[in-house]
Structure 1
Amino acid sequence: MIVPAPLVNACIIDNNKIYAYGFKKLLSIKDLSNQVTHFENGSDAIAHLKNPGNALNLPDIIFLDLSMPVMDGWEFMKEFEEIKSQLGKKISVYILSSSIDSHDIDRAKNIPSVSGYIFKPVDVQRLQEIFKNLQGIARQ
């Protein structure tokens, strides 16, 4: 009997509702995640992560846009670095941006919690590799 790999609980933080909808749809179609939470800014996402009522439903992975109103991706990462040890689980964070500015890429590389930098539009094969690695970690 083949046991299916556990699906990864994902989160996308992006103020572009159309992009977020398409991203969620892609994850569903490719059977990468059946649970994708969407936040339109970093502030709402931080509030969700800090809420003790969500402790059992935290994402395994976050896809984070850099340019958003209220709290942008950089501000989110600053807050995330401060609270990550209190969350009770390791959460991988990938920057998901249309910015090809080398300063943004270098800045992201210098944040310990950032697992990678993905350019929009997202490469499906790269996404599949990321989720495959996460599922492998979850089984250990």
Structure 2
Amino acid sequence: MSLKTIWVIDDDPIYQIIVNKIIKKSELFVSVSSFKNGKEAIYALQNAIENTAELPNVILLDINMPIMDGWEFMEEMVLLKPQIKVPISIYIVSSSIALEDKSKAKKYPEIIAYLSKPVNNNDLILISANN
């Protein structure tokens, strides 16, 4: 199993610190990048595509964020998909237990699963095994 690149898109700075430490401690991913909203992550994706830089293998995506939320990110991601030549597995990671959010996640084939916050080491093991 080769190590993958993972992106965390979440507006909560404390959660960012915690999940980054969990990811680094797991040693399951070669690199982790963090973004505080979907717009920052879309810009990074566009930049990576334009410069043929490394794209993430896995994205942990929060739903409720300012500027561009998780669903708006997914809409932009669908538009970028024809330019993305590698598979990117997206996992919704949210504290929302709303059934409509879980149903909406199923509408996107790129979304592999809907996970509850916080992500733990077992979640990361399953994520890395799936990719």
Shift, 1:21, TM fit = 1.4
Quick one: distance in 1 between partners of 2:101 and 2:111? 12
Match of 1:34 among 22, 30, 48: 30
Q: In the alignment, which residue of structure 2 is the partner of 1:137? A: none
List aligned pairs for 1:1-140, cutoff 5 A.
Answer: 5-51=1-47, 52-53=50-51, 55-134=52-131
| Structure 1: 5+ residue stretches without partners | 135-140
> Share of identical aligned residues, percent?
40
TM-score (norm 1): 0.87
**SS of alignment partner, residue 28 of structure 1:** helix
Superposition misfits of 4+ residues, deviation over 3 angstroms: none
Count of aligned positions? 129
Structure 2 CA distance for aligned equivalents of residues 121 and 86 of structure 1: 32
Whether the 8 Å CA contact 1:20–1:38 is kept in 2: the answer is yes
TM-score (norm 2): 0.93
Contact 1:50–1:87 (Cα < 8 Å) also in 2: no
SS at match of 2:53: helix
Greater Rg by CA: 1
Runs of at least 5 residues in structure 2 that lack an aligned partner in the other structure: none
Q: Is the 8 A contact 2:22 2:120 kept in 1?
A: no
CA RMSD of aligned residues (A): 1.1
SS at match of 2:29: coil
Give the distance between the partners of 2:127 and 2:55, measured in 1 at CA.
18
